[in-house]
Structure 1
Amino acid sequence: MEKQNYQNHIRYYPPHHFVFYPVLLVGIICSIFFAIKHPDASWEWIFITLLLFIIGWLGFMLRQHYALTTQDRIVRLEVRFRYFTITGQRFELLEKNLSLGQILALRFASDGELPDLVKRAIAENLSPDQIKRAVVDWQGDYMRV
Structure 2
Amino acid sequence: MSNPNQGYANHRRLHPLFHFVLLLLTLVLLVSSVTEFIRLMQAGERFLPAFIYVIVSAIVVVIFLLIRSYPLKAQDRAIRAEESLRHYVLTNKLLDPRLTIGQIVALRFAADSEFPALCQRAAAEQLSPDAIKKSIRQWKDDNYRI
User: Quick check: TM above 0.5?
Assistant: yes
Q: Percent identity?
A: 35
**2:136 matches 1:135:** yes
Aligned length: 141
Structure 1 residue runs of 5 or longer lacking an equivalent are none
Aligned to 2:29: 27
Aligned to 2:112: 111
Aligned to 2:93: 90
After TM superposition, the score normalised by the length of structure 1 is 0.83
Distance 2:62 2:32 in 1: 18
Q: Secondary structure at the match of 2:47?
A: helix
Pairwise CA distance, 1:112 = 1.0
Distance 2:63 2:6 in 1: 30
User: For 1:14-93, what aligned pairs fall within 5 Å after superposition?
Assistant: 14-38=16-40, 39=43, 40-65=45-70, 67-87=71-91, 89-92=92-95
Pairwise CA distance, 1:2 = 6.9
Distance 1:50 1:6 in 2: 40
Q: Which amino acid aligns with 1:84?
A: Y
1:110-131 deviations in Å (ceiling 9; x for gaps): 1111111011112212122211
Q: Which amino acid aligns with 1:16?
A: F
**Residues 55, 83 of structure 1: alpha-carbon distance in 2 compared, 3 angstrom cutoff:** same
1:7-54 deviations in Å (ceiling 9; x for gaps): 222222222222222112112222233234433143422331232122
1:83-111 deviations in Å (ceiling 9; x for gaps): 22323x1224x2x1211111111101111
Q: Which amino acid aligns with 2:22?
A: F
Larger mean CA deviation between 123-132 and 6-15 belongs to: 6-15
Structure 2 residue runs of 5 or longer lacking an equivalent are none
After TM superposition, the score normalised by the length of structure 2 is 0.83
1:29-82 deviations in Å (ceiling 9; x for gaps): 2223323443314342233123212212123214321x1122112111221222
Q: Which amino acid aligns with 2:85?
A: F
